[in-house]
Structure 1
Amino acid sequence: MMRFIHTADIHLGHPFLGLQNVPEKLATLIANATTTSFSKMIDLAIAEKIDFICISGDLFDSQNQSIHLLDFLITQFNRLAAENIMVYLSYGNHDYQPQQNAGVSWPSNVREFDNSVKTYYQSLPDGKTVAITGFSYGQQHVKTEVINQFPLKQTQRCDFQIGMYHGGIDGANGNYAPFKVSELLTKGYDYWALGHIHQRQILNEVPFVGYVGSLQGQNSKETGAKGFYLVEEENGKLVPYFEETTSILWRTALVKLPQTVTQRELLNNLYTNLVTNNQHSWQIINIELDMTLTDTLLLRLNDGTTTLQLNEILQQNNQYLWINNISYVHEEQGARLPELDEQFWLATAKKVFNFENIHQVALKKIPELFIAEYFEQEAVQTKLKKQALELMQQELADVGSDMDEDNTD
């Protein structure tokens, strides 16, 4: 019975963006998160005695790999070689290889795909033969529909055929080997191991066509459990089963609390809610807070004081939780000051909160690339707009309050 692993979008060496002042024990875990998850997968592959692993693109986070990561991978692949487990490796838009890893000597059990569609064959212990067909990116953008180059299932040479494809469905972004599910199905393959999308998605049940997602979430958008598919042959079909490898879980938590007057009450209520609902080891959490806040509490929330104090309490109590951000989502927010014209605000914010302005004002003399990339994110710019609006509303409300007091004389 054939068994193999489908994985993709591992992004070894990818830094977690947007985190500040994390405790040392979490910082160490973050630095090793992607390699830890990869090692977990290799451990299971050996324990389950699988036949091979399909890596469908973006094993690395960039085309320039460090010696440390290459040494790590060679060690892991050698562990598989000792157990006669093959590795089929394709490169995606992040780790594209114009010269196909010149100078890197992988162990003998690793089969690389080059920039043209190629098929490898493997004989299985039960006498069956499996064909694995795929390709690699030779440049960052591949605008052609590479699926057109894939052959039909070669039934005369194999019992099963697996397609490895790193690309975007239905031309959602034409830069990444666009394809349609119907085009995949016409090939007659038994399984399509897709890569490029970091969230698990099933596009077709039988034969299975789907994205496995990443091994480890790497930012606040990549929430929930991450891992790989362990695929098993069952009654002539190839059926995937999800296996989790997450070492650090990113989570968004909507927290609804009763009205609170003091900062201590707010912190205690948040702490109790988070600890009660913690069912994982380390979590990095973005809190969406739904409650009525006083002006003072809202100010402390917006300037980061509440996040800082809550993290201090969590660490003092040895909780495996880190709060990345707290945002205010109460319905009544924004209705506090009808005098601030919404259309005027939206038009102005669009001009002010764009990356060009942010660069000129704040980032021009900062050389670190990861900082600039963080502020390029649409979610970050939206957060800046939201916090600016809340602060303006609060300031204007205070002015209105002062005017009311003046009029009482």
Structure 2
Amino acid sequence: MRKSIRFIHAADLHIDSPFVGLKHLPSQLFEKMKESTFLAFSKLISIAIKEQVDFVLLSGDLYDAEERSLKAQLRLKKEFERLAQAGIKVYVIHGNHDHLGGKWLDLDWPGNVHVFSSKQVELEIFSKGGTPHAYIYGYSYPSRSVIENMTTHYQKKDNHSVFHIGMLHGSIEGNKEHDVYCPFKISDLVSKDFDYWALGHIHKRQILHERNPIIAYPGNIQGRHRKEAGEKGFYLVAMHEDRASMEFISTEEVIWEDVELSISSLTSFSELISECQSAIEQFRKNQRSVCLTITLTGAGDLSRSLQSKETIQDLIDALNEEEAEYDPFVWVVKIVNQATDSIEKNPKLSSFFNDLHTTVENYQSFEEVIQPLAQHPLYRKYIAAFTLEEQKQLLAEAEQLIHKELVEQSEVKKS
């Protein structure tokens, strides 16, 4: 009969992320952002100790870059030492960002830390009271780009009295939303007859397979830009003989949020500013620091003024003017303008705009359209494949541009 185990599954810490895109923040807020990845990991360690877990799994990209800083390593070592004092083991694999072919000043880790080999898939036995409780299998990247399907090298060692856990940093084969490393099929992982697959690389929390085995991405522990919105953290996992449970626990120090505001009923910029401020205050009530993206939607009289980039930037500056004085803060990082002129003024265009929106929503020929451009050597050298999210954003911008041009031309003809 297998013994019960409890562990934390985390990944993609990206300790010491530079947050280059936020250097325009006031200095005290920027320092808080740079410190956020460290604080999020420290929160994870405190919870591990409080919950008295058996071990912590870190499934790759502990650091943000292959040339990891001494500061990042020392902070990580300090947290590992806290776990060592509590008798908690740590199992680490390295991924594409922190592969073992990088350059850094090598530090000795505490004895409770095991870093898996980059030469082959390695088996490490977790024992408690002299009795094996889990077989943990892992592999670290020897270089940034590992494009082989490594699942063939994960071979289950026959032992029915322990749990079998695989640690893998990679993505589903054919996934175009992220750089594909260590590609795998879900069926590959299921066929290994493990109990749990602790995945890393994808920053969006998701469970790919709910049982026999559980296959999960915990996401990263701290969002770093507006595409990593919402709560970030790790899974607390409990495994028993015939059942398993998972609890997501958030760790982010600063959360990235999105809000949509319609301009349809607004007649002045004062009203727009008031609506934005009301949204900001709602987030402030949650007592957590927020990097906020405001998307303006709807159709109304303010839309033409909002076409100016200078106007949008002035609005952002006005909303952020005194925000550096707040702790926690709510900082508007971006305003996305999707507002349009009221089609009520152009009833003949209404049907066309509806058809246009339907076409954009169901458009499937993106790759075909850019194929001539993609064949150019400069394009192939400098531009990565567009993710699905980026494709949708480009299509939305194209729809907005067509909408704007047609409305303006219609008004010209009327005059």
The 1:301–1:249 alpha-carbon spacing in structure 2 relative to 1, beyond 3 Å, is farther
Partner of 1:369: none
After superposition, where does 1:206-217 map in structure 2 within 5 Å? 206=211, 207-217=213-223
Partner of 1:145: 149
Partner of 2:359: none
Residue 116 of structure 2 is aligned to residue 113 of structure 1 = yes
Range 90-99 or range 108-117, more displaced:
90-99
Partner of 2:141, secondary structure, is: coil
Q: 1:22 aligns with which of 20, 25, 30?
A: 25
1:217-269 superposed Cα distances (whole Å, 9 cap, x missing partner): 11111010000111112453332211110111111211224432332221012
Partner of 1:52: 55
Q: 1:284 aligns with which of 283, 286, 291?
A: 291
Partner of 1:310: 319
TM-score normalised by L of structure 2: 0.79
Partner of 1:64: 67
| Partner Cα distance (1:60, 1:177) in 2 | 18
Partner of 1:89: 92
Partner of 2:207: 202
Partner of 1:363: none
Q: Percent identity?
A: 30
Q: 2:227 aligns with which of 195, 200, 221?
A: 221
Range 299-308 or range 95-104, more displaced:
95-104
| Partner Cα distance (1:49, 1:162) in 2 | 19
Range 19-28 or range 135-144, more displaced:
19-28
Unaligned runs of 5+ in 1: 361-371
| Partner Cα distance (1:330, 1:396) in 2 | 13
Residue 254 of structure 2 is aligned to residue 256 of structure 1 = no
Partner of 1:368: none
Range 12-21 or range 186-195, more displaced:
12-21
Range 215-224 or range 260-269, more displaced:
260-269
What RMSD over aligned residues (CA atoms) do the two structures have, in Å?
4.0
Does the 8 A contact of 2:169 with 2:200 survive in 1?
Answer: yes
After superposition, where does 1:393-404 map in structure 2 within 5 Å? 393=404, 397=408
Query: What is the CA distance between 1:170 and its match in structure 2?
Result: 2.7
Does the 8 A contact of 2:205 with 2:218 survive in 1?
Answer: yes
Partner of 2:22, secondary structure, is: coil
Range 121-130 or range 248-257, more displaced:
121-130
The 1:335–1:250 alpha-carbon spacing in structure 2 relative to 1, beyond 3 Å, is farther
| Partner Cα distance (1:162, 1:378) in 2 | 32
The alignment of Structure 1 onto Structure 2 pairs a total of residues equal to 383
| Partner Cα distance (1:322, 1:380) in 2 | 27
Residue 193 of structure 2 is aligned to residue 188 of structure 1 = yes
Unaligned runs of 5+ in 2: 350-355, 357-365
1:312-360 superposed Cα distances (whole Å, 9 cap, x missing partner): 265577772111111122354899998xxx9xxx999x98xx9x79xx9
The 1:393–1:182 alpha-carbon spacing in structure 2 relative to 1, beyond 3 Å, is closer
